[in-house]
């Protein structure tokens, strides 16, 4: 890209002043809601799971779902899990997020502060564990370790939504839609790196909804649009042969030029 002199903006680096990543968010929403759906599928016996129906039926216990993380992915996963009738517990270190979920779902799900004790407790009780901890720009911590798998039920399922950023489950490694799962210590792992790709119609609309605003500005004002929009400016990676994204420059040991300076050239 540098050689070609192209002006390049990466989806995943467009960032608002309050440090959110608007072009990634719709994919987190899709992945969160899909995580529960695929978890339900792989809990079926014919897909290797325990043979438990998410919502149970009157008189029979529903599936127990532990969701690690109450951000966009976790909240969306929780919503579908509650909707399907599962018994849901969401774990996070952010009290404000737990409070919000507690307000919205008043009693239909439970929340726990994230610490080793609580994570072990909810994971060992769970039929389905959804890993939904994403640390922007860094590898998520391994909240579920290899050792912990042995205490989990045979046929239980882990869906690690964070897998494309390293995952928050020690034993997770990226899989594909054509070969989505593998089993370790009797626990089914679903770690498809590009989950939203399975629902392209929904994902494309969701993505376009977010990008359209920026695209229209770029189409109208060209380079000036980048100068005048902090998110685009923060997302600029290359311009006229210059590397304008600090983390990439550092990672590759290349020279970094500040976006506004590069644009002025």
What's the min distance (Å) between Cβ of 122 and a second copy?
10
Residue number with CB closer to a second copy (216 or 247): 216
> 166: how many CB neighbours lie within 10 A of its CB?
18
Unique residue bearing structure tokens 């995580």: 35
Residue number with CB closer to a second copy (178 or 265): 178
Q: For 176-204, give one letter per residue: b (16+ CB within 10 A) or e.
A: eeeebbeebeebbbbbbbebbebeeeebe
Residue number with CB closer to a second copy (61 or 264): 61
Residue ranges that bind a second copy, judged by CB under 8 A: 22, 25-26, 29-30, 33-34, 37-38, 40-41, 43-47, 50-62, 75-76, 79-80, 82-87, 93, 95, 98-99, 101-104, 106-108, 110-113, 115, 177-178, 197-203, 205-206, 209-210, 212-213
What's the min distance (Å) between Cβ of 256 and a second copy?
26
For residue 119, what is the DSSP state?
Answer: H
Residue number with CB closer to a second copy (50 or 189): 50
Helix locations, the chain, DSSP H: 25-43, 72-83, 95-105, 116-125, 146-149, 200-221, 223-228, 230-235, 246-252, 259-264
- Determine which helix (DSSP H) or strand (DSSP E) holds 221, and give its type and residue range: helix 200-221
What's the min distance (Å) between Cβ of 191 and a second copy?
15
Residue number with CB closer to a second copy (35 or 236): 35
What's the min distance (Å) between Cβ of 56 and a second copy?
6
CA distance 74 to 253: 35
Unique residue bearing structure tokens 């726990």: 112
What's the min distance (Å) between Cβ of 87 and a second copy?
7
């Amino acid at each position: 890209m540098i050689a070609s002199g192209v002006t390049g903006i990466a989806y995943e680096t467009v960032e608002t002043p309050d440090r959110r990543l608007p072009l990634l968010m719709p994919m987190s929403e899709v992945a969160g809601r899909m995580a529960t759906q695929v978890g339900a599928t792989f809990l079926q016996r014919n897909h290797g799971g325990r043979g438990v129906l998410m919502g149970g039926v009157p008189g029979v216990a529903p599936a127990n779902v532990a969701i690690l993380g109450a951000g966009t992915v976790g909240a969306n996963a929780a919503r579908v899990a509650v909707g399907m009738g599962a018994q849901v517990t969401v774990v996070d270190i952010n009290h404000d997020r737990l409070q919000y979920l507690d307000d919205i779902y008043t009693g239909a799900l439970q929340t726990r502060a994230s610490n080793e004790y609580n994570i072990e407790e909810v994971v060992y009780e769970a039929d389905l564990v959804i890993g939904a901890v994403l640390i922007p720009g860094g590898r998520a911590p391994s909240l579920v370790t290899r050792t912990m798998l042995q205490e989990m039920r045979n046929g239980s399922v882990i869906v690690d939504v964070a897998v494309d950023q390293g995952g928050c489950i020690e034993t997770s490694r990226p899989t594909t839609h054509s070969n989505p799962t593998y089993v370790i210590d009797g626990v089914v792992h679903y770690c498809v790196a590009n989950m939203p790709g399975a629902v392209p119609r929904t994902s494309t609309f969701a993505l376009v909804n977010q990008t359209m605003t920026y695209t229209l500005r770029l189409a109208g004002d060209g380079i000036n649009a980048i100068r005048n929009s902090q998110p685009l400016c923060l997302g600029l990676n290359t311009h006229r042969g210059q590397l304008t994204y600090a983390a990439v420059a550092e990672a590759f040991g290349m020279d970094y030029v500040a976006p506004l300076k590069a644009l002025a050239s």
